[in-house]
């Protein structure tokens, strides 16, 4: 009936092969992406989403060295030098080739004189000492409450960091990852350790930690409206992201989790000036008094317990200090540690 | 029996099945029937949702039952199974049954306008690549489900009754209804306007049809070029010339209409046996400009929709998703706006969003507590969702009982009091209906007895209600039952929903129990 020419065998095979290939492709892709699970599995995966962990950045002190040193005097750089020297010198902590994170508190868009942020002089002094020990890179990081560029600029931290050859890393969203607080990853990839009292997993400004080998926290000495005082422990709040305004619902639990969250090389309490009231933002030089003090230590609970005495209040020390001590994360009884105290 | 008679029977069965499944999509009807069948068979839903969400959810794999035969036979779905296509064919037939043949065949010639649907397909696929699933705007399966749920069934119920126990209302039903009428009315302009010009599923099947091994083939030696094959050609696929494979609906009308018996459905006919006069146009023929327009529009749509922040930081308090809904970014990559959840929702709380979820979220389900509330012991929306935008939860999962004790209940939001409107708070009037209906145990709404002196100087004790945010699941029954019926004195908003940490209210992690207010 038909007068049509038929396709030849080669053409027929080509067309059938092409169609079969497309059919196989769709079928394979369909089954590769097929999710036949129930809803419970989706939300379980969501709860068990990938987490990162932090390293242990501590360096043991020489036998018999108290874990905090207090220096009084007028020159911030000499205060830092003297206190670090009392702990064994910066070369004990930072080795050539180290990548060092400096974590100042740059939370607010404030001038240095207002005492709401780490003083540029103290940051600069720490950075210079770290550099002289042969650090390969020094990263200055914080996730401020106010607009980050303005905070780094107006606090003077950006200029001090640049002068000391440090790199400021901005807290862009892509640089955050979910941290399993208090956990570390073994060689087999399994997590161990203990989760925090208030914090299990939380977004952390993680990107700089991919390469860091040492971490130094440099916190101002500030009044705080809710927890009493913002010192070296509270300073780690600034590395977290997400809905961290919820932390105020359990502020002492959160802050007492921070020694678990971060095991830093050193913490520096910059009490060259002290924000006595209206914290943690301040806003008037009338809120600030000269402190003439820098404390450096490896036990942040002890450093902060000493730091709280600088406010000369009759009120008891913040609850988070007692809680951290109770959990074995530090020692609030700083006097029993017989700290080195010197005037320069 | 003629093949076209078989086709009409198949079409009738298909449409009846669609209607039956739609009517069974309700509390008393479900019983395990595959009520979302046509959505799960839809290859465009499968492909676009798998691009956007990287998942082929549960029964969506059934799309292969349509996709694979299309590779063999061409776009047969459009004229054999598609329930929306059937309505278009019927409308077009009614409109032209007295039109003379000569005029009718002119309306069935191919036009460059028919390339537009490929631009719409590209729009959908590009948006899907950026994580925004938009096939539901025009894909015929979600469109006809949505139109019947939002615009047709409520009218049927209001006139003849029998659909709902209590009447159901749907936000902006007029918009869905008007578009439905418009799509049908366009058949008066051009037959099968929607199918030929707009349908992105048709475009996708048309693209697949280039690989089909069967097609309509014209015997050029017999053909007298009378063009009568165009008289009832549904696809406008030029059977009188080189057949446009991507446009042909495989309706077989041309074979019936040919007086010379010159047409047949042929296995592997040659592509170009007779120069340009016969053979086939293998691929779809959108213009490059149409495709570029589609791609650009898709990218800009997502870019602009997201840059409003309405799906992230700037989300609206009224974007309250039902329990089982996945986090918003994934929700927008999965929801096809079919509104099956809205159809099955027994309380009428689920509503097709207008701008509650941003531009992208048009017609996706949000809860409106004035119209309903989320029934504690109900998970029907997740049972019928074809793509897993609302996951299938067990009651234990929803309530946080049994094995799910540690995870707690699924929360869709949190209730807040408006103390200026609440009777015991503002007007010294006893009420506490909200506490009465609060379904969780212990209740999320508690009251404190307060001794007051009323304006007559008499001492009174009044119960004033409070929310315990650690217990509130955002079901909204308090808002629904509040006697202050215009602007309720207790209202639910999206904060506190458990599917996302970004929209949570309370710090809930770590070892410590969150303390409830005492």
Residue B252 lies in a domain: yes
Residue A47: pLDDT band with limits 50, 70, 90: confident
Contact B502 A243 (CB under 8 A): yes
Does B341 reside within a domain? no
User: What confidence score (pLDDT) does residue B514 get?
Assistant: 47
Residues 258-317 of B with CB under 8 A from A: 264, 266, 268-270, 273
**Domain span holding position B122:** 3-26+34-281
Round to whole Å and give the CA distance between B14 and A317. Answer: 76
The residue of B51, B71, B497, B507 whose CB has the most chain A CBs within 10 angstroms, and thus the best one to mutate to test that interface, is: B507
Question: If contacts are CB pairs under 8 Å, which of residues 163-192 in chain A contact chain B?
Answer: 181
pLDDT-derived band at B125 (thresholds 50, 70, 90) equals very high
Q: Which of A27, A35, A196 sits opposite B510 (nearest CB)?
A: A196
pLDDT for B276:
54
Same domain, B44 and B193: yes
Given a cut of 90, whether residue B275 has pLDDT beyond it is no
For residue B465, the surrounding DSSP H or E stretch is: strand B459-467
Residues B204-218, mean pLDDT to the nearest whole number:
96
Return the CATH number at B461.
3.30.70.20
Q: Per-residue pLDDT averaged across A234-244, rounded?
A: 96
Nearest CA to CA, how far is A277 from chain B (Å)?
27
Tell me the residues of chain B between 410 and 469 that have a Cβ less than 8 Å away from chain A: none
Residue B314 included in any domain: no
Q: B-chain residues within 8 Å CB-CB of A26?
A: 64, 67-68
Q: pLDDT category, A1, cuts 50, 70, 90?
A: very low
Q: How many Å lie between the alpha carbon of A256 and the closest alpha carbon of chain B?
A: 12
**B92 alpha carbon, distance to own chain's centre:** 25
B200 in the same domain as B58: yes
Q: Are B171 and B352 in contact (CB under 8 A)?
A: yes
Please report residues of B whose CB lies closer than 8 A to that of A39. 324, 382, 388, 391-394, 397
Between the alpha carbon of residue A161 and those of residues A103, A208, A235, B481, the distances in Å are 11, 16, 18, 60
Average pLDDT over residues A4-27: 90
Say whether B495 sits in a helix, a strand or coil: coil
Q: Find the mean pLDDT for residues A136-146.
A: 98
Average pLDDT, chain B: 94
Q: What is the CATH number of domain A52-343?
A: 3.40.50
Q: Tens digits of per-residue pLDDT, A260-301?
A: 999 999 999 999 999 999 999 999 999 999 999 999 999 999
Q: What is the mean pLDDT of residues B245-263?
A: 96
Size of interface A-B (CB pairs under 8 A): 127
Q: How far B97 CA sits from the closest chain A CA (Å)?
A: 33
Residue B218 maps to a domain: yes
What pLDDT is attached to residue A284?
Answer: 95
Chain A residues near residue B211 by CB distance under 8 angstroms: 18-19, 22
Q: How confident is the model at residue B511 (pLDDT cuts 50, 70, 90)?
A: low
The C-alpha atoms of residue A334 and residue B191 are separated, in whole angstroms, by: 88
Ranges of beta strands (E only) in A143-234 are 167-169, 176-180, 183-185, 191-193, 201-205, 214-224, 228-230
Q: How many structural domains compose chain B?
A: 2
Average pLDDT for residues A131-140, to the nearest whole number? 97
**Last residue within a domain, chosen from B253, B281, B309:** B281
So where are chain A's domains? 9-44, 52-343
Using the predicted structure, report yes or no on whether residue B38 has a pLDDT greater than 60: yes
pLDDT of B273 above 80: no
pLDDT at B278: 74
Task: Please count the residues of chain B.
Answer: 518
* Rounded average pLDDT over A303-329: 96
Contact B391 A42 (CB under 8 A): yes
**Cβ contacts (< 8 Å) between A247 and chain B: which residues?**
507
Mean pLDDT of chain A: 95
Q: What is the ipTM of this complex?
A: 0.93
Answer yes or no: is pLDDT of B325 > 70.
Answer: yes
pLDDT given at position A3 = 46
Residues B93 and B231 in one domain: yes
pLDDT computed for residue B110 by the predictor: 96
Query: How far is residue A336 from each of residues A79, A302, A333, B139, B457, measured CA to CA in Å?
Result: 23, 10, 6, 74, 64
Domain boundary among B281, B298, B319: B281
Q: Which of residues 58-77 of B touch A (CB under 8 A)?
A: 58, 61, 63-64, 67-68, 71-72
**Residue A2: predicted pLDDT:** 46
Task: List, for residues B168-196, the tens digit of each pLDDT value.
Answer: 999 999 999 999 999 999 999 999 999 99
Tell me what the mean pLDDT of segment B242-264 comes to.
96
Question: Using CB atoms, which residue from A23, A38, A243 is nearest to B501?
Answer: A243
Chain B residues in contact with A36 (beta carbon < 8 A): 58
Nearest neighbour of A33 by CB, restricted to B50, B499, B502: B50
In tens, the pLDDT along B55-82 reads: 999 999 999 999 999 999 999 999 999 9
Is the CB of residue A275 less than 8 Å from the CB of residue A102?
no
Greater confidence (B273 vs B215) lies with B215
Give me the residue from B58, B213, B217 closest to A19, CB to CB: B213
> Where does a domain end: B264, B281, B298?
B281
pLDDT for the residue B405: 86
Chain B: residue whose CA lies nearest to A44: B407
Query: How close does chain A come to B331, measured CA to CA in Å?
Result: 12
Interface list for B 334-393 with A (CB within 8 A): 382, 388, 391-393
Query: Which of B201, B141, B153, B199 is CA-nearest to residue B177?
Result: B153
Task: Give residue-wise pLDDT tens across range A183-230.
Answer: 998 888 889 998 899 999 999 999 999 999 999 999 999 999 999 999
Per-residue pLDDT at A40 exceeds 80: no
pLDDT in tens, A96-132: 999 999 999 999 999 999 999 999 999 999 999 999 9
Q: For residue B321, is it within any domain?
A: no
- Does residue B366 lie in a domain region? no
Q: Strands, DSSP E only, in B368-454? A: 414-417, 445-453
Q: What is the DSSP string of A120-136?
A: HHHHHHHHHHHHHTT-S
Q: Please state, as a whole number, how many other Cβ atoms lie within 10 Å of the Cβ of residue B226.
A: 15
């Amino acid at each position: 009936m038909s007068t049509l020419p038929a396709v030849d065998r080669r053409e027929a095979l080509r067309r059938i092969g092409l169609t079969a290939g497309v059919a196989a492709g769709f079928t394979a892709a369909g089954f590769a992406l097929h999710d036949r699970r129930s809803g419970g599995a989706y939300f379980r995966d969501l709860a068990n989403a990938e987490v990162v962990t932090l390293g242990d950045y501590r360096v043991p002190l020489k036998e018999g060295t108290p874990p905090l040193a207090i220096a009084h005097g007028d020159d911030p750089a000499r205060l830092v030098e003297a206190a670090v020297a009392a702990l064994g010198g910066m070369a004990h902590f930072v080795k050539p080739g180290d990548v060092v994170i400096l974590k100042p508190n740059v939370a607010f868009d404030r001038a240095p004189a207002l005492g709401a942020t780490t003083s540029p002089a103290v940051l600069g002094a720490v950075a210079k000492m770290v550099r002289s020990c042969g650090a390969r890179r020094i990263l200055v990081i914080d996730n401020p409450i106010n607009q980050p560029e303005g905070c780094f600029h107006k606090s003077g931290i950006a200029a001090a960091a640049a002068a000391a050859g440090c790199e400021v890393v901005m807290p862009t969203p892509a640089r955050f990852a979910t941290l399993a607080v208090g956990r570390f990853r073994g060689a087999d990839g399994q997590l161990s350790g203990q989760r925090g009292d208030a914090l299990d997993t939380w977004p952390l400004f993680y990107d700089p930690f991919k390469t860091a080998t040492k971490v130094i926290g440099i916190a101002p000495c500030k009044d705080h409206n809710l927890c009493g005082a913002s010192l070296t422990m509270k300073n780690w709040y600034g590395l977290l992201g997400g809905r961290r305004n919820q932390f105020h619902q359990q502020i002492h639990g959160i802050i007492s989790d921070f020694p678990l969250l971060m095991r830093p090389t050193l913490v520096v309490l910059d009490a060259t000036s002290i924000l006595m009231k209206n914290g943690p933002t301040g806003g008037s030089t009338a809120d600030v008094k000269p402190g003439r003090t820098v404390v450096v230590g490896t036990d942040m609970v002890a450093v902060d317990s000493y730091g709280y005495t600088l406010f000369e209040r009759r009120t008891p020390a913040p609850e988070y200090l007692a809680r951290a001590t109770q959990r074995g994360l530090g020692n609030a009884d700083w006097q029993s540690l017989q700290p080195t105290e010197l005037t320069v | 029996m003629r093949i076209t008679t078989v086709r009409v029977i198949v079409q009738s069965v298909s449409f009846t099945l669609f209607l039956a499944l739609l009517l069974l999509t309700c509390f008393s009807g479900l019983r395990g029937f595959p009520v979302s069948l046509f959505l799960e068979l839809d290859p465009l839903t499968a492909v676009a949702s798998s691009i956007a969400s990287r998942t082929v959810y549960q029964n969506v794999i059934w799309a292969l039952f349509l996709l694979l035969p299309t590779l063999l036979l061409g776009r047969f779905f459009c004229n054999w199974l598609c329930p929306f296509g059937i309505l278009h064919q019927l409308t077009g037939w009614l409109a032209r049954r007295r039109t003379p043949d000569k005029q009718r065949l002119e309306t069935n010639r191919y036009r460059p306008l028919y390339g537009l649907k490929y631009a719409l397909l590209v729009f959908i696929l590009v948006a899907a690549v950026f994580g925004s699933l938009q096939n539901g705007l025009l894909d015929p399966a979600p469109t006809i489900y949505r139109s019947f749920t939002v615009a047709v069934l409520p009218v049927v119920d209001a006139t003849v009754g029998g659909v709902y126990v209590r009447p159901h209302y749907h936000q902006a039903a007029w918009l869905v209804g008007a578009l439905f009428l418009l799509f049908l009315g366009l058949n008066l302009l051009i037959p099968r306007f929607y199918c030929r010009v707009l349908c992105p599923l048709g475009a996708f099947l048309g693209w697949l049809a280039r690989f089909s091994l069967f097609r309509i083939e014209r015997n050029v030696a017999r053909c007298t070029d009378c063009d009568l094959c165009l008289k009832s050609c549904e696809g406008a696929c030029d059977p009188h010339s080189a057949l446009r494979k991507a446009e042909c609906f495989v309706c077989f009308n041309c074979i019936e209409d040919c007086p010379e018996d010159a047409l047949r459905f042929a296995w592997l006919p040659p592509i170009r046996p007779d120069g340009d006069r016969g053979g086939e146009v293998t691929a779809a023929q959108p213009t490059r400009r149409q495709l570029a327009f589609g791609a650009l529009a898709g990218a800009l749509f997502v870019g602009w929709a997201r840059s409003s922040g309405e799906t992230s930081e700037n989300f609206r308090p009224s974007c309250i998703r039902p329990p089982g809904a996945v986090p918003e970014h994934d929700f927008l990559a999965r929801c096809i706006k079919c509104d099956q959840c809205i159809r099955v929702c027994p309380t009428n709380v689920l509503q097709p969003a207008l701008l509650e979820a941003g531009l992208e979220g048009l017609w996706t389900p949000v809860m409106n507590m004035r119209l309903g509330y989320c029934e504690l012991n109900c998970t029907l929306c997740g049972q019928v969702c074809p793509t897993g935008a609302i996951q299938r939860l067990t009651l234990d999962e929803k309530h946080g009982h049994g094995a799910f004790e540690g995870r707690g209940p699924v929360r869709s939001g949190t209730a807040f009091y408006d103390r200026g409107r609440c009777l015991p708070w503002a007007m010294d009037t006893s009420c506490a209906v909200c506490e009465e209906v609060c379904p969780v145990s212990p209740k999320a709404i508690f009251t404190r007895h307060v001794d007051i002196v009323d304006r007559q100087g008499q001492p009174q004790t009044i119960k004033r209600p409070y929310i315990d945010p650690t217990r509130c699941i955002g079901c909204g029954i308090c808002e629904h039952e509040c006697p202050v019926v215009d602007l309720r004195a207790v209202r639910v908003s999206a904060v506190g929903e458990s599917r996302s940490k970004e929209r949570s209210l309370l710090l809930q992690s770590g070892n410590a129990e969150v303390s409830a207010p005492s």
